[in-house]
A and B are shown apart, each in its own frame.
Chain A
Amino acid sequence: MTAPSVHKEPSMARQKEMISQHFKKLTTAHESGKKVVYTFVPGNLTELMLSFDCLPVHPEINALQSGMRKKSAGYIAEAERHGHSEDVCTYVKCDIGMLKKGNIGPTGEHIPPPDLLLLSYTGCFTFMKWFELLREEYDCPVAMLHVPYQGDGEITDDMREYVIRQLREDVIPKFEEVTGQAFDIDRLKDLLASSARAEDDLVTVLESAKHRPSPIDAYFGGVYYIGPIFTAFRGTREAEAYYRELREEVQERMRVGAGPITPEGPLEKERFRLVVEGPPNWTHFREFWRMFHEEGAVVVASTYTKVGGVYDRGFRHDPDRPFETLAEYCLGCYTNLNLPTRTDMISKYVEDYSADGFLINSIKSCNSFSAGQLLILREVEERTGIPGAFVETDLVDPRYFSASNVKNRLESYFQMLAQKQVQAS
């Protein structure tokens, strides 16, 4: 979520610097006595980790960075040489391939091995297998947090209670054991309060897309905006400062009626407003974005920017209920929602953001997202009367991104939307 910089806005430079500092800290973690915790984005327990002075590493983020830096094909090939199937999630293979090739991270620095694998198992079964695989590579403890799925579209008391009990009796004791530090609830509460402030600003940024023209792109641009809050920085003053600055930039663009900033420059004319479901492709990220930019298409809402927290539906970390809030956060991440809830949410986005269209980027790797998306498409079309489109790509395996296919699909889709606009006018 921290792509090579595309246009220098102060918030982008700030984010870049935050990431660079984080990787520097990681490189020297063991000398400075900090513990390194590998964990996942959905259902991450960043505030808890930070309360123990741990440094998080997110294997998915390393994988997507490898995709953007055109390194993923080699890493995937390496994992396949080690017996991994072509069929499985390419994030896993990219990560394992990177590890086999020396674990050099996105900034070119070596990523230290984990002191703890924090397997927060939210919204995807593959996470569990992924950490079982990593456990074979590293001799370190694992803290497992099983987060139940919202099969009936709600968080029940029992689900919350189950997660809280695991936090208290499994996860926190493991942190205490690994770090040698006692759990400090006041520190956790401070971090949670900070998270909530940044979350408020993030929601303002995301909802700015309701404005015409939208000052942001909530998918391609959105992945930058969620970077700090989905990863190592939620709960920190840096994250608060980043989101304050970002909000001000976006509000200023809105005030002057400017569109989003893209790698090809600011978007001058907004022709189509889209809602997008599914993660982006990282190996051809810029090329993919350009296909939208060329047509004047702006993504006004996306579900991918909710994988690490669905803040725009009201959730905020709550320092007064520290355990409950961590549990509800984990339980509420996007891929932990059932299909009817996802369908409702997307339909509502189409309406609330006055979208002209709705696109699914179906990811070969990710059954958690992809299985059932075509039914979501039908349902959303039926409920909103807005035509949908469907393209297939992958996250980090370039073999599954056919630029010509995707472009053809998008061009004909945009043509159809244009005809509809003409008819409507």
Chain B
Amino acid sequence: MSRVADIVTTCEELYEDLEFSACRAWKEEAPGRHAIGYLPMWVPREIIHAAGMLPVGILGGGDKLEIIRGDAFFQSYICHLPRSVIELVLKGNLDFLDGCLFPSICDIVRNLSGMWQLLRPDTYVRYVDVPQNFEPDRGGRFFRTELRKLIDDLGGIAGRPVTDDALKHSIELYDENRRLIRELYDRRSAVPWLVPTSEVYLVQRAGMVLPVEAHNDLVREYLAAAEMDDRPERDNSRVVVSGAFCEQPPLDLIRTLERAGCYVVDDDFMLVNRWFAQDVARPGDPVDALVTAFLEQGIANPARYEPHAGTKGQDLIECVRRRDADGIIFAAPSFCDPALLERPMLQKAVEAAGIPSTAFKYSENTGQLQPIREQAGTFSDSVKLWSSV
């Protein structure tokens, strides 16, 4: 097996392991260790890490998890992620978590925080309210106190306070992680046949369960190994995937897009890895550094209020141009209000910019991939034709 195949196999095993064995093993390696879960899209993992804890991304149950009890907790019309998360909670798969953070991205994740409070009263639950006002003395001030509270809480659970030095160190490690992921994305865009999206995806997913130090090594290794592989370039189209920031498409769906002739050259999977376009670290108070980064360089996404009229979709257009993409695939989870309410605004903007797009919905357990394959294939052919005239 090639080195790349080795790495990808390891990542796929981590991805498929709904028992979170790697996280459990990490906890068991030393007494007094704690693991804190978090839901999409963004939480300050730096703080969890600085408290000596393992941040664990909870991205749903994928297409392998049979939902037995989770359905009984939800109405008919709702995305799939909360069903699988509750299934995992009830089956005990997440019992190793000492707490869970719920970012403010939509009403479902928000209410899931309350469900967790009711179902797991023994664990720490924090709703991470991020500001939608980006002025330092309003949103910034509020966010600073929110982060300080989180720091105090986690320090309390760890049994020792989280120091500024520890937080600075953690910020540096995550800055390094973001730099590596940016490099991964850049390489994929440059040579997508050597760095396919299904692999980029799995390598990123590994970062949801591995300590950041190990993940940094893994990304580095993958990048080096991928360059050495000999894989043929295909006559594929280049597309950007938008809308898949929370409930994840099944891996087979990503592979289906590739098989249908699309090189995905950018996407919004696991935005937590790419939330900041530049380094967070700066001299002075590390909490201020996180706050400033959040206010000033948080990437555009449907859960972030866009304070300026006329700018909706501009980041996506800029991304298409930077990646030299031929078009956009809007792929959103069914019943995902943030993605689906955002979509018409984005479609309008990209249409005005002359960028072709296609759209479909999925759920994390979508099994019927043939229609998506056909749609993506037709789209790919048409954009290639379009870009060649």
| Residues of chain A whose beta carbon lies under 8 Å from any beta carbon of chain B | 82-85, 87-89, 92, 121, 124-126, 128-130, 132-133, 135-136, 142, 144, 146, 148-149, 151-152, 158-159, 161-162, 165-166, 169-170, 338-340, 342-343, 362, 364, 367-368, 370-375, 379, 392, 400
Contacts and interface: CB of A to CB of B under 8 A. Distances in A.
A129 B74 contact: no
Task: Give the interface centre of A82, A161, A338 by most chain B CB atoms within 10 Å.
Answer: A338
22 contacts: A82-B344, A87-B334, A87-B337, A88-B341, A89-B337, A121-B305, A136-B345, A144-B132, A159-B142, A161-B141, A161-B142, A162-B131, A169-B135, A338-B127, A339-B111, A340-B117, A364-B76, A367-B111, A368-B111, A370-B75, A371-B74, A375-B115
B259 interface: no
A128 B341 CA distance: 10
B305 A343 contact: no
Contact of B309 (A92, A135, A374): A135
Task: Give the interface centre of A125, A142, A165 by most chain B CB atoms within 10 Å.
Answer: A125
Task: Give the interface centre of B77, B135, B303 by most chain A CB atoms within 10 Å.
Answer: B77
Interface stretch (B101-109, B189-197, B285-293, B367-375): B101-109
A125 to B, nearest CB: 5
A149 B343 CA distance: 25
B140 to A, nearest CB: 10
A395 to B, nearest CB: 12
A129 B138 contact: no
Interface in B323-344: 334-338, 340-344
A375 B132 contact: no
A149 B127 contact: yes
B132 A367 contact: no
B343 A83 contact: yes
A342 B114 CA distance: 10
B355 to A, nearest CB: 15
B298 interface: no
B115 A126 contact: no
A370 B74 CA distance: 8
Contacts of A368: 107, 110-111
A253 B271 CA distance: 59
A136 B348 CA distance: 10
Contacts of A338: 113-114, 117, 127
A384 to B, nearest CB: 15
Contacts of B139: 146, 162
A151 B74 contact: no
B138 A170 contact: yes
B161 interface: no
Contacts of A89: 337, 341
A149 B129 contact: yes
A161 B146 CA distance: 13
B106 A125 contact: yes
The number of chain B residues touching the other chain, given as a range, is 35 or more
Contacts of A121: 132, 305
Interface of B: 72-78, 82, 102, 104-108, 110-115, 117-119, 126-127, 129, 131-133, 135, 137-139, 141-142, 145-146, 302-303, 305-307, 309, 312, 334-338, 340-345, 347-348, 361
A373 B115 CA distance: 9
Contacts of B77: 87, 364, 392, 400
A370 B309 CA distance: 31
A126 B138 contact: no
Contacts of A144: 132-133, 305, 307
A169 B138 contact: yes
Nearest to A158: B145
A336 B345 CA distance: 27
Nearest to A374: B73
Contacts of B335: 87
A184 B111 CA distance: 38
B138 A367 contact: no
Contacts, number: 164
SS class, residues of chain A in contact with chain B: helix
Nearest to B349: A136
Contacts of B108: 367, 371
A88 B78 CA distance: 10
Contacts of B141: 161-162, 165
Contact of B341 (A92, A148, A159, A161): A92
A87 B247 CA distance: 15
B305 A165 contact: no
A152 B337 contact: no
7 tightest A-B contacts by CB? Answer: A339-B114, A151-B127, A129-B341, A162-B142, A146-B132, A371-B111, A85-B340
Nearest to A128: B305
A151 B127 CA distance: 5
B344 A392 contact: no
A348 B145 CA distance: 33
Nearest to A369: B107
A85 B119 CA distance: 33
Nearest to B102: A151
A129 B118 contact: no
Given A367-B108, A372-B114, A84 B119 contact: no
A84 B342 CA distance: 9
A166 B135 CA distance: 9
Contacts of A392: 75-77
A405 to B, nearest CB: 11
Contact of A125 (B73, B133, B303, B340): B303
A372 B102 CA distance: 15
A273 B110 CA distance: 31
A88 B337 CA distance: 5
B75 A339 contact: no
Contacts of B78: 367, 370-371
A85 B336 CA distance: 10
B340 A374 contact: no
Contacts of A400: 77
Contacts of B107: 124-126, 367-368, 371
Contacts of A152: 127
Contacts of A129: 302, 337-338, 341-342
Given A166-B138, A373-B75, A340 B312 contact: no
Nearest to B106: A125
B59 to A, nearest CB: 18
B117 to A, nearest CB: 5
